[in-house]
Amino acid sequence: MRNGGIERMVAGWRDDGTARHGAPPERVKERCMTTTMTTKTDARYFTVATVATYLGRTPKAIYRLLDRGEIPHIRIGRRVQFDRERIDRWMERHSKRGALVA
């Protein structure tokens, strides 16, 4: 896909860069991001799948971090939970110019 094809498909872009429904591109992108981030990422505790989405990683990458003890987590029996506030602080400590280092 050319020129950000995924964003265009999701937001309903035309090939000339305008939105099909007439909304300005900034509003469309803002609305898509708001919809995406208000699903499960508002919760205090994340599952492996949710923290992977939150960090923009795969669940497999999160399990690797868990195995190496590199990511803060809470184990309750066999379940693994992640406190969003601790994850945010961990990201701040392990970031380099805004990019996650892993």
How many beta carbons lie within 10 A of that of residue 13, not counting itself? 19
For the stretch 31-76, pLDDT in tens is: 544 444 445 567 889 999 999 999 999 999 999 999 999 999 999 9
C-alpha 25, offset from chain centre: 21
| CATH number of 45-100, picked from 2.60.40, 1.10.510, 1.10.10, 3.30.1490 | 1.10.10
For the stretch 70-93, pLDDT in tens is: 999 999 999 999 999 999 999 998
So where are the chain's domains? 5-37, 45-100
DSSP track, 49-72 = HHHHHHHT--HHHHHHHHHTT-S-
Report the predicted TM-score, pTM, of the whole model to 2 decimal places. Answer: 0.54
